[in-house]
Structure 1
């Protein structure tokens, strides 16, 4: 399994910022829970002060002076098929929202009925050369309206699920909509052994150097997380044929049992030029530091998440420990790592300890977490 790094018990700051952090200490303890990085979260709020209602968050990315996020198909209707802007410093949804609109050219696409009618959207990236262009990927298409026979024959072999995963291009318009301009299905080769898992597909996207797009797969046929890639060059959107992803050698952790998926990630380059992916392993409440050169084992950083307690509550304090955060989005801004959680409907109420936060959990409201990126993660 990957190399584990931990951090001893930390004092949680009483102000609105995160805890004071010491350098992580490497260890080989069999009990990962003994040491972890403690991370404070702040409730994401609307401009009227109410917490964000049930977005079922599925991605986070740096954009201009803040962050953008999106929701999956199980979110509240008000959150679906739109990008939402967040001010990172105070977790405020500062608007405007950017609703998605299907372009005229895509209305004749084989995939138009699916992507225009509450698709299962996962992850979000900004084009590295044009910040008015975004890319999203779909996951579960098992509920989609069946394609025509001609379309089914054209996209017969995705290498994974019967209804393929779709990479969708969005472009910001002057009226603050984002137009769905292009779509390409993803194809995995047979030797990748991705398996047929409609709801355990690509959940993470991140751009690296030279327009390399990395795709984080929750699990393959051996129930192991994977990272694959493709090059999004100038000719990429000139066809609607399958986009074939590439496998490459990484020292990802492997597990004998259980589910240990990648659910969000972003690219990070150290000052000396080494390249890494910072990936959230949602089920494990951990951060994976993945060496893109394939030379170093993945570093696993266990994390303990805390939710802020708003208002003056002497009994609860300023933060309460969470039973599960379920991180689903990762974004790097300079030397800070930002994380957003996907409120897990079956488990989220297990977080309730302080009654003051109960209503937030019952609304499946997400939190925005941040932690300084530490040089020792990459040694």
Structure 2
């Protein structure tokens, strides 16, 4: 792989970033990808403080390049009537599983970037820090850059890419609509404004001066080649790693993905039913019976505690009826293999593009 501004700056062999997989990985997967020549990522927003500290220690102790990913959403104001309506909508499912809807546990959901997170970045000094849903406040961003971090953030439109460039992002992740997990949108929640990767990518490349990283539906070397042909300086892949040996994907999650791969096709849907914000994954009973983008779901992340409680109770019975298995539209490319093998297979796309 010849040297490029991106892999030279990030000290990686391939300009290939493993997308942070909240709920499906820890440091083991990130380290395996970094050892194989890519950039492993840690989903910091989904980890409780004590666990995050342990995982960041493991990453720093490796001496390898790595990325810490955080969310930049604004915490919503509690809305008691909407929350009550949400719980009422889910009550028949709670009753079916023998759960008392009066005792839904509280949960932190996804944590926005705050002073505590900024202090961890200053302490552990990840070489790369990436964000979803925009960027932190200027003072916090400056603190991150003083720690030596290269800053990435996701854009789902050209307008968001220009905003990120103007507000200090060192590179931009162009996230196509086919990507798994949460949409990275932050200027508008209108999904009609978001395009598939290969429509979005060349527009973003033409609009900005900083490097652009392609994300969404890239799970093969052919996808890597196509992204590079459209001007990407690198690629980000997440779904391709969900069944890696080092991933923490649950048995039910892994089985669902491998079944989709065996069939040669994977039906995915964007839904607000898990967290309150559109995210792509495999459909389930809730998306079929309530509609995937049901407006009753409270604002992100206030929908999560009730939905997660329902999911956990069903999974204890071996049922995936209410599970949300995040993945992109190219989930049929998932396979069980060491992360190093998956990284090398994707990296063939760089070699072919020389």
**Same fold judged by TM-score > 0.5?**
no
The structure with more helix, counted as a fraction of residues: 2
Length-normalised TM-score, structure 1: 0.28
